[in-house]
Amino acid sequence: MVSDDSRLIRVSRAIDAPAKRVFAFLANAENHQALDTSGMVRGSADHARLDRVGAVFVMNMYNPIMGDHQVENHVVVYEPDRALGWAPSEPGAEPAGHTYVYRLTPLAHGRTEVSQTYDWSAFTHLDMIGYLPVVNRDELLASLDLLAAALDTPR
Of 47-51, 95-99, 101-105, highest mean pLDDT:
101-105
Q: What range does the domain containing 106 cover?
A: 2-150
Q: What is the pLDDT of residue 132?
A: 76
pLDDT above 50 for 4: no
**Res 3: pLDDT:** 44
pLDDT in tens, 51-99: 999 999 999 999 888 899 999 999 999 999 999 999 999 999 999 899 9
Is the per-residue pLDDT at 135 higher than 50?
A: yes
Is residue 143 domain-resident? yes
Report yes or no on 28 lying in a domain: yes
Residue 155 lies in a domain: no
Q: What is the dihedral of CA 23, 29, 34, 39, to 10 degrees?
A: 130
Stronger pLDDT, 138 or 1, i.e. the higher one: 138
Rounded to an integer, the average pLDDT of 38-50 is: 92
**Total of domains in the chain:** 1
The answer to whether 32 and 41 are in contact (CB under 8 A) is: yes
Sign of the C-alpha dihedral computed for residues 134, 116, 36 and 26 taken in this order: positive
| 108 class by beta-carbon count within 10 Å (0-12 exposed, 13-18 middle, 19+ buried) | exposed
Determine, yes or no, domain membership for 82.
yes
Intra-chain end-to-end CA distance of the chain, in Å: 27
Q: Residue 6: its pLDDT value, please?
A: 85
The CATH number assigned to the domain holding 28 equals: 3.30.530.20
How many other C-beta atoms can be found within 10 angstroms of the C-beta atom of residue 92?
Answer: 6
